[in-house]
Structure formats: C-alpha cells, structure tokens
Structure 1
C-alpha cells in the first residue's frame, strides 16, 4: 500500500471506515511489535501509543470549554416561551439506567459467576454510602466555575453555563452573537480533532494490546460474557424499546447510527467526558435541536450510566456468589436501584464505575477490604469491560436525545 493510498484511508471518506483502518493497523502493529523489538531495541506498539494519548487528551481538553460555550450560546439565543425537552430526556436517562441494572441482575441470576478475589487496588478511596455520592453531585453543582472548567466537572460547568445563559438572554444581540461565534469557533476545533480519530484509535489499540494483551482475560471469560452480554442486550433490546415508545417507528436505524459513530470512538477513548465532542458532532449531523443537545449530551455523560450500572451490579453479585451469600428478589431489586443511583455518581473517566462497587457490596454486608479486591478484578478485565461500558453509556446519550427530539418533531407534524 503506497503512502498516498494510506493517507486517503486515514483522512478522507467515512469516519467509521477510517477508524476501522486505524483499528486494523493498530492490531497489526501490536502483533509484530514483539518480533521487531529485538532488532529495534524498543517496543514500537508502546511508542505509537503516544498518538492515542494525544488524541484522548485533546478531546478531554476541548470538551469542558465546548460544553460551557455551547450551553451559554444555546440558552442565550433561545426564544423565550419555546418548549424544553429536557424533562423527557432525563426520564429516559434514569429509566434506561435502572432497566440496565435490572437486566444485569437477571443475567447474573441466569449465569451465576464466581471470581478469584485478588488484592489489587491500594490507593482507592471509595465513598462509604449513597448519600455521599448524592452530596458530591450537589457540591459539584456549586463548584467555582474556573475550578469546574479546570477539573472537567461537567455538573458544575452545566450549572454555571445555564445560569449565565439565562442571564444573557436579556443581553444585547451583539453579546449573543459574540457567544455564538465563540461556540462556533470551538466547534470547528472539535471537528478537526475528531478527524484525527483514526490515528488516535491506531495508537490506543496498539498500546493496549502490547501492554495487557487478551490472554489475561481468559480466566474471567464467564464474567465478561455476563457483563458484555448485559450491555449488548441493553443496547439492542432495552434501548430500542424505549426509543420506539417515544418515536413509534423502527428504532434500529437510529440505534445503529449512534452505536457505530459514537459507541465506536467511546470504546477506544474509554471516557464519556472525552466522547462529548464526538456526540455533539453526531447530534449536529442528525439535525437535532441544538438548544436541547447542548445541555442533554454533557448531562448524559454524568448521569446516563447504563453501562456503569451493569458493571456495579454484575461485579457485586459475583462477589456475593463467591462468598456464598443468598440473594432474595427484593434485595436484587434494591440492588438495581442502588446501582442506578451509584452509576449516576460514576466519574466520566476510565474505571470510574469501579469505585462505586463498595456501596453496592455494603447491601450484603461485604466489607470494603473484599470490595476493594473486586475492584481489582474490575481493573484486570477493564480492557474490555470499561471500553464496552463507555460505548454503551456514551452512545445512549445521543440515542435518547435523538428519540425525544424526533418525538417532538412528530408531534409538530
């Protein structure tokens, strides 16, 4: 393959096809890296991993300022008296997360899984109770705006952006146009970063396989079957049912588009926060209402956590089965509720849901020491678990936003 052909594959045509090329090249580099290491003196797969780190860092860097400016601009330019769709979207977020947790419970009942508990999570400080998670969410809302931007605290960013947007609705047209121009400028930067996704995926895949490989996952095959199976069921059964409930037509074209174009990049970045710019771009291409998606997408990255709810539920029940604790139906339902609440407090970074496992384990009287060992298992399988979890979480943000926007269009028609 000549250089011009390779350039064309990476930089022209469908983004999904270009990402697929990056994925295949990353796999090839990971496979040949051990052979070349002796002659080169270094592992080439680990070196190209730098490209993946730059890509993810770029997305994370631009996401907070994109959300901040886009939300201010959308609300400031919103016509007074127009209807908001946020209530319906939040209902879908919360309902989808709960049904995902319930699916995980049923899957764990159908295929009880035991794990070899290992000690591996020294410096973790998980919250001690559910109220601590909710308290953290509230405190994040009243965070200093500069600190919120610096730490990518999207709840705080949203709170300040909504407040400023409401105030600026009464400002001059010149001010509104300036905010709109800023948001457009940042959106163009985002578009450029996303165009580099194939290179980023190439680096991420090569480094991940070179560093961990897939051999370490074989001991946890059944656990991964329950986890990934629950996530696939949620993505292709639960979500389509909820979407059909809203739009009353075939939901699968929307589901597949979101999984392909949002879920794929989220799978490799392993961060809902880093995938916000990708989702914003997709929502724009789907011609969704900007005033809606500019708020619902970053909010979804914080509270729409179906994948996290599945992870918390399945790993907790695996610990329960390992320790021989009996699980009643009412307790299982309570676990679904607790997992859903905990999932809403999961951070938008890789492995964020694992720190909430001790809360769910406390329902069964499992100590934090053993719960920390369960977290260690989560880190071992994280190369697949966390990737699939983030893909489900992030793609669902666009799915539910699009469903509500489409339902609104149907009503107008």
Structure 2
C-alpha cells in the first residue's frame, strides 16, 4: 500500500525533477553521512553498467533497422547533421584557443600517475579510427567500439535493404524491444545519479579542485560559452528563429544526465529517447546520435586546446597566430578520435602539446592534471558533447521540414 502513492508520484513527476531530487539527496548524504556513500555508490555503478551494457546493442540494432527499412528516394538529414558537428567542434576549439590567450593558465606539474598510452601523431589517431572500423563486429559490441559498431550496422543495414519484408519487420520489432529496455533503465536514473553524486562528493570534495580554480574557470567558462552562445548562434543561422527554447531543452533533458554519467556512449539511449519525444525522423536520429557520441566532441576540443596552451604558458612558450590556428584544427581532429568514455579526451593532449615542442613526459603531467580536475571538467565536457548531439540533430531535421 505504501508503494502505490510512491509509484503514482513517480508517474506524475518529470524525470528531470526526479534527477534533481536525487542530486540533492546525494550531496546531502555525502556531507551528513559519508560512511554510507560506498553502499549508495553501488546504485550509480549498477546504473552506469546497465546503460553501457545495452547502449552498444541499441546502436547496432537501431542503425541496422533504420537503414534496412529506408525507402529509396526518402530524404534524411544526415549530411546537414555532419556539417553541424564539424562546425560546432571547430568553433569550440577556436573558443578554447582565444580564451586561453586572453586568460592564460599556468600549472604546477608534479607528474601524477596516469594510465594509457597517448598517440604520437595525427596519423595514429586516423589509423586507430580505420582499425576500429574494420574490427570484429562481435568484439566491437563487447568492447563498446562505437565506430566499429556503426560501420557494421551501416553495412548490414544496406545489405538487408534487399531482404524480404518479414526480415525487415523483425529488425524493426527488435529495435522497438531494445528501446523499451532502455526506457526501463532510464527510469532508474534518479537512483543511479544519487549514488554517483554521493560517491563523487565523498571522494573528491571541493578542496582537491581549489588549486586549479583558474584553469577550471577557463575550461568551464569556455564550455558554458559554447553551450549558451556559440551553439545558439549556429542554430539561429540554420533555422532563423529563437534557438534558446531548443538549446535549453537539450541541456536540461540530455546535459544533466550526461554530466553525471560522464560518458557520451552511456547517454546515447537518453538522447534517442529525447529525439523521439521531439518527433524527429527516426531514420536520421538513429544514425546521427550514435555517430555524434563518437565524433561530435566540442567539449573535448576545448579541453585539448586549453590544457595544451596551459602547458605552453607554463613553460614560457610563445604561441603565434599560425600555431594557434593549427592547434584549432589538430584539437578538432583529435576530439573526433576521443573515445566516448570518461576521460577519453585527456590522452590526446600530448599530441597537441607536440605542436609546441613539449616533450611527452611534461605532456603526460598535464594529462595527470586533467584527471585531477576531471570531476568537474569531464562531467561538463560530456554534458556539452551529448546535449549538442541532440541539438544539432534536431536543428538539421527542423531545417529539412521547414524547407
């Protein structure tokens, strides 16, 4: 009997409101009863694990079903979406370079421990992308290699366009079934975020971030500027109408959950559900959203450019205009090669640092700084990346309908 009023309240209250409540409860729990956070953190770990487990299957099935059921001659907005992704990423890199020039940051480099091996050249990033495309499809699903998943889903979808109607209908039913599973997982987001927030505040708190307040201010300021100024300008240029209702909707519905999951890949299901509620074309968003989680990385472009220039300023290296413009391009390319998991952009910083002759040992210390401030930096970066996926997909679809 007690559960019945609770279930009615859950059904009446919006998911965003429930997430905010979970956020506040998580913060309060970390402050009042920090000893309980390891137990509560279990909820966050289970929520993220469930999203990461189902997201690769969802992307594979949705993309394959959408392409196999596409009727020849039917228009989609994939090309405009890709153009918006590229424009947004390059613009974000430019914002990061300009902000770092106006408000230079310096670092205290102490060589903290890091993990992973950074690529040594842009060609390595591109080679890794090619290798991911031709990777074994089963291994791609197991390892959440979204570039490989997309490649195989597109290839099989094109091949299945010539299958009989029953096979294509079965694929469509499978995509609906996986989507329903995702919706069930998403309903657990408030509990998951409660656990994530409690664990984050209990482990890091605010003291660990104070030493890098200026760097964080530049990073977060750039991301907020891109989210609230640059992206709306891009949307306005395409739609010629007030962009802020759509921008704020995407930030609220997609950005909040992405902030706490810290994974563009894990947020794919939430973005797909938002696109469905917006009434967008499924054939467009089922491909554009997972593709955006892989290559649309405005936040990563900002992180790479700001931290690279912070290293240059720390070492007293003068950055001229041509080098700054080249950094914008390299940061944009590197951002596209960043993985859709937490901290995926940080290991690409040494590649950008090499433009200024900064050796790998120093660059890896900068990566370590990135991991220290990652509690806020990576969360905000992911919120910008993921919400922009929906924003640009919706913009392209609305422009197509308007035309």
> Same fold by TM (over 0.5)?
yes
- Counterpart in 1 of 2:18? 18
SS in 2 for 1:52: helix
Distance 1:11 1:230 in 2: 37
Distance 1:5 1:368 in 2: 59
Query: Aligned residues, how many?
Result: 402
- Counterpart in 2 of 1:210? 202
Distance 1:9 1:47 in 2: 25
- Counterpart in 2 of 1:154? 146
Q: Would you identify which runs of 4 or more consecutive aligned residues in structure 1 move more than 4 Å?
A: 2-12
TM-score normalised by the chain length of structure 1: 0.95
Residues 1:407 and 1:202: Cα distance change in structure 2 (over 3 Å): same
- Counterpart in 2 of 1:38? none
Q: Aligned-pair distance for 1:178?
A: 0.5
Residues 1:309 and 1:183: Cα distance change in structure 2 (over 3 Å): same
Aligned mate of 2:183, from 185, 191, 212: 191
1:289 aligns with 2:281: yes
Residues 1:11 and 1:270: Cα distance change in structure 2 (over 3 Å): farther
Distance 1:5 1:242 in 2: 45
Contact kept in structure 1, 2:114 and 2:368, CA below 8 Å? no
Measured on the aligned residues, the alpha-carbon RMSD in Å equals: 1.3
- Counterpart in 1 of 2:172? 180
SS in 2 for 1:347: coil
- Counterpart in 2 of 1:405? 397
1:356 aligns with 2:353: no
Q: Which string of whole-angstrom CA distances, capped at 9 and with x for unpartnered residues, describes residues 382-401 of structure 1?
A: 00000000000000000000
TM-score normalised by the chain length of structure 2: 0.98
Q: Aligned-pair distance for 1:110?
A: 1.1
1:390 aligns with 2:382: yes
Q: Which string of whole-angstrom CA distances, capped at 9 and with x for unpartnered residues, describes residues 110-132 of structure 1?
A: 11110111211343310011110
Contact kept in structure 2, 1:118 and 1:374, CA below 8 Å? no
Q: Aligned-pair distance for 1:47?
A: 1.4
Residues 1:337 and 1:9: Cα distance change in structure 2 (over 3 Å): farther
Q: Which string of whole-angstrom CA distances, capped at 9 and with x for unpartnered residues, describes residues 91-139 of structure 1?
A: 1111110100000111111111101112113433100111100111111
1:322 aligns with 2:314: yes
Q: Aligned-pair distance for 1:11?
A: 5.7
Residues 1:329 and 1:140: Cα distance change in structure 2 (over 3 Å): same
1:88 aligns with 2:88: no
SS in 1 for 2:212: helix
Contact kept in structure 2, 1:89 and 1:296, CA below 8 Å? yes
Distance 1:176 1:258 in 2: 32
Q: Aligned-pair distance for 1:247?
A: 1.2
Contact kept in structure 2, 1:10 and 1:22, CA below 8 Å? no
1:107 aligns with 2:107: no
Aligned mate of 1:145, from 104, 113, 137: 137
Unaligned runs of 5+ in 2: none
Q: How does 1:245-394 map to 2 (within 5 A)?
A: 245-394=237-386
Contact kept in structure 2, 1:46 and 1:210, CA below 8 Å? no
Q: Which string of whole-angstrom CA distances, capped at 9 and with x for unpartnered residues, describes residues 218-271 of structure 1?
A: 111110110000000101111111111111111111100000000000000000
Residues 1:172 and 1:16: Cα distance change in structure 2 (over 3 Å): same
- Counterpart in 2 of 1:228? 220
Distance 2:107 2:266 in 1: 31
Contact kept in structure 2, 1:121 and 1:375, CA below 8 Å? no
Q: Aligned-pair distance for 1:3?
A: 7.8
Residues 1:27 and 1:168: Cα distance change in structure 2 (over 3 Å): same
Contact kept in structure 1, 2:114 and 2:367, CA below 8 Å? no
